[in-house]
Structure 1
Amino acid sequence: MLQNSTTSLISRFIPISFTRFIHSKSTTNSLKHKKSALEVKQNSALKQTQTSQQQQLTKYVRYPYFVARTRMKELPVYVDVKNGRTRILTEISRIEGDSEALCDDIRNELFYWSQEKNLIRVNHTNNHVIIKGRHGLVVKEWLAKKGF
């Protein structure tokens, strides 16, 4: 008799909806653990595909520099006219990596015939390569052939 009275007292103070809430919480926690295990498997699979993609990308790197394209998918080669249209410069911007190597490649492949030492230089402040003269189209074609 005492046991029945205690259970009836407990049932009076704890509503049925609360007991359902407790039971539903325990089942959702187990589902969360199951989801997290699935997420872990998916994340590990994603990491494996990312590492394989990175390995493929590292295989194809041929140069110690990279010329990134602009927002409009154009090569960042600009012709700059200064000093009252008496000084014309071609400027390559958005260079990542070794800009000196890019300068040497341009000098050796495009301007091998030139005797002038100061024809091509590197601005180390903003990592730009500057070429004397109007050579924008030639440099853009050369960069496109290189795969940039």
Structure 2
Amino acid sequence: MLFRLKSFGLPRRLPCHATRSLSSLTQRTAAHYPYYIPRNSKGSLPVYTDIRNNGTRFLLLVRNIDGDVQALAQEMSTSLFPSGSPEASKLKISINRSKHLIIQGGRWKHNVVDWLLQKGF
């Protein structure tokens, strides 16, 4: 039976082309910040939403920050939204357990994830 399969010509695997790994590409382009946000076990950024008070209070959690959390909070509060915008006036960032950020004021998960991706995380 195995001989027959060989004679019909099973499809062969396509040649695998070597590519640069993601880590080698990000090492050259990544900036050095006093903080670092490692990805979770599924490869995503650790940014989570928490909805409380029957849907009237939206919290955004950035978890497991290594390094200077205060510097991340300061930089995020100044550069996440343009100064003078309604979003910037609602933005409230607090630090929890010296490793987590809690962002209050709106539904901004996609804005925060995009901001972190632009920073190279």
RMSD: 1.8
Does residue 66 of structure 2 align to residue 96 of structure 1?
yes
> If the length of structure 1 is used for normalisation, what is the TM-score?
0.54
State the Cα deviation string for residues 40-95 of structure 1 (Å, max 9, x = none). Answer: xxxxxxxxxxxxxxxxx7xx652100001001100011111011111101110110
Cα distance, 1:64–1:76 mapped onto 2, change above 3 Å? same
Report the structure, 1 or 2, having the larger helix content.
1
Q: Which residues of structure 2 form unaligned runs of 5+?
A: 1-26
Does residue 88 of structure 2 align to residue 145 of structure 1?
no
Secondary structure of the equivalent of 2:36?
strand
Q: Which residue of 2 aligns with 1:8?
A: none
- Structure number, greater radius of gyration: 1
Q: Which residues of structure 1 form unaligned runs of 5+?
A: 1-56
State whether residues 65 and 102 of structure 1, in contact with CA within 8 Å, keep that contact through their aligned partners in structure 2. Answer: yes
Secondary structure of the equivalent of 1:115?
helix
Secondary structure of the equivalent of 2:94?
strand
State whether residues 69 and 94 of structure 1, in contact with CA within 8 Å, keep that contact through their aligned partners in structure 2. Answer: no
User: Which has the higher relative contact order, 1 or 2, with Cα contacts under 8 A spaced 6 or more apart?
Assistant: 2
Over the matched positions of the two proteins, sequence identity in percent amounts to: 38
